[in-house]
Chain A
């Protein structure tokens, strides 16, 4: 069995060296909708060390996206402590230490590819600040060199999502939060994007927290998979993935991968 045994808490997630990239303790988020109060997250604790790639796996309604939004300072937790690189999320956001990739690419349709990738330089307090990598270099990193002048509607879904990844990487964020970024893509494109994302992760060393509801994607991408249960969203299990590095798509045919997927499926079914 390549999966680690279930753990009670999550305090041991990530190596204990220095300040964790992402840290939350006993986070609870409640919404009040028209009909009833909804508990999106209940008592979630999580710690990611710098450079980790962790996938969040869970059924819809388990609060995966809400947890990302808590770290990105979009949603304020009802109770609990959250810190990003040792600071409150608002500070990390203003320092541009977080890049966020949305489910749909969320490009501005009137801007061409390069201007979309450049958007972070034009807004916010850090506008005009020098960046480690230029928008052009980042577009090359995501495999879109030569497409700078194209408009979003001229691109495929996969290409649009690549632009949004380049945009999120601009300014060299230490953390990348990804909310089902490949959920709307066809399987072939999705496979390719998964391999590309691993390459980008290796090349940039960014900490990545990746939300998905695909068991295979979660197992293939993550160094660790955090399984969440729904209604209310809470941590079910943390699974360490012991696949060889670098990962190859063909690994998904191995018995180890099959056992891992079966384990994750079982964890989801007991949710």
Chain B
């Protein structure tokens, strides 16, 4: 009897192990699939681009072939990086300033309802104007130099963050407010213990949007009368019909924007750990 039980146990234990192992293998395959398929998609599109340019004999000043763009990036890497630097500085400083001011004003709005009622609708209205339309207006207002570009980047990411942050600070459940009231919490305690943590997911989704709007703001700021930067390079390359340089510049700008986004997403993952299945 005991023998039989032991035998049965021995039989079933490896079976369970096999199941676990099979699941682990399948899981690993799924993970790699998710990583590799976008690479495959990208490679297909690159090949299509290359084929279209080759088959239709597109002239180089209209659209370059991918390998020409790659060669340009390689040959002019130093120059591209030298131009990325001011743009990156403008975008990051604008991002920091614009978001800091937005968070401060959102805090003020939540504690002074009159100000929110007077100004938030206008902020929402301005927020609905696309960045590419807002930026040239700001260029005319602010003129040339590094500071105006920082200001433009700051202003374009200010509005979405303000709108989202106000929404986040007010997304507190009525019951949580009642709880804080029963505990006789002060306004400051309600803000730091309840409102601020509640707003963080809203803030981070705004910050992720702000990475690209700040970059766009800095680039568009450089379009008019600038001598350096990704924006200036885009304008120069366009006027010189240097399509390979134009594509290379756009690619460098996009890579910066994506890297900026990834940094904020990493910060989000480190800060917000309490949401099950938080947005990837």
The smallest C-beta distance from A87 to any residue of chain B, in angstroms, reads 14
- In the complex, which of the residues B178, B183, B276 has the most CB atoms of chain A within 10 Å of its own CB atom? B183
Partner pick for B182 among A93, A103, A110, CB 8 A cutoff: A93
Q: Could you say which interface size class chain A belongs to?
A: 20 to 34
A208 to B60, CA, bound (A): 83
Interface flags, B173-186, vs A, CB<8A=1, else 0: 10110111111111
The smallest C-beta distance from B192 to any residue of chain A, in angstroms, reads 9
In contact, B176 and A124 (Cβ under 8 angstroms): no
Partner pick for A153 among B175, B194, B272, B274, CB 8 A cutoff: B274
The yes or no answer to B279 lying at the interface (CB within 8 A) is no
In contact, A119 and B276 (Cβ under 8 angstroms): no
Interface flags, B249-280, vs A, CB<8A=1, else 0: 00000000000000000000000111110000
Q: Which residue of B lies closest to A69 (CB)?
A: B178
In contact, A124 and B189 (Cβ under 8 angstroms): yes
The yes or no answer to B30 lying at the interface (CB within 8 A) is no
A60 to B21, CA, bound (A): 53
In contact, A108 and B176 (Cβ under 8 angstroms): yes
A72 to B177, CA, bound (A): 13
In contact, B184 and A93 (Cβ under 8 angstroms): yes
Partner pick for A72 among B173, B182, B200, CB 8 A cutoff: B182
Q: Which residue of A lies closest to B193 (CB)?
A: A123
The yes or no answer to B136 lying at the interface (CB within 8 A) is no
Q: Which residue of B lies closest to A121 (CB)?
A: B183
The smallest C-beta distance from A129 to any residue of chain B, in angstroms, reads 12
- Give the interface SS of chain B, mostly helix, strand, loop or mixed: helix
In contact, A74 and B274 (Cβ under 8 angstroms): no
CB interface residues, A 136-155, toward B, < 8 Å: 151-153
Q: Which residues of B contact A93 (CB under 8 A)?
A: 181-182, 184
Q: Which residues of A contact B183 (CB under 8 A)?
A: 96, 119-120, 123-124
In contact, A123 and B185 (Cβ under 8 angstroms): yes
A237 to B194, CA, bound (A): 40
Q: Which residues of A contact B173 (CB under 8 A)?
A: 106
- In the complex, which of the residues A110, A123, A151 has the most CB atoms of chain B within 10 Å of its own CB atom? A123
CB interface residues, B 195-238, toward A, < 8 Å: 197, 200
The smallest C-beta distance from B202 to any residue of chain A, in angstroms, reads 14
In contact, A110 and B186 (Cβ under 8 angstroms): no
In contact, A108 and B185 (Cβ under 8 angstroms): no
CB interface residues, B 152-181, toward A, < 8 Å: 173, 175-176, 178-181
In contact, B189 and A123 (Cβ under 8 angstroms): yes
Q: Which residue of B lies closest to A170 (CB)?
A: B183
Partner pick for A123 among B175, B186, B276, CB 8 A cutoff: B186
Apart from A72-B178, A109-B274, what 5 extra A-B contacts exist at CB < 8 Å?
A102-B179, A106-B179, A120-B183, A126-B184, A153-B274
Q: Which 6 A-B pairs have the closest CB atoms?
A: A123-B185, A124-B184, A110-B274, A123-B189, A153-B276, A100-B182
Q: 14 A–B contact pairs at CB < 8 A?
A: A72-B182, A73-B181, A74-B178, A100-B178, A106-B175, A108-B176, A108-B193, A110-B273, A122-B193, A123-B185, A123-B189, A124-B183, A125-B184, A153-B275
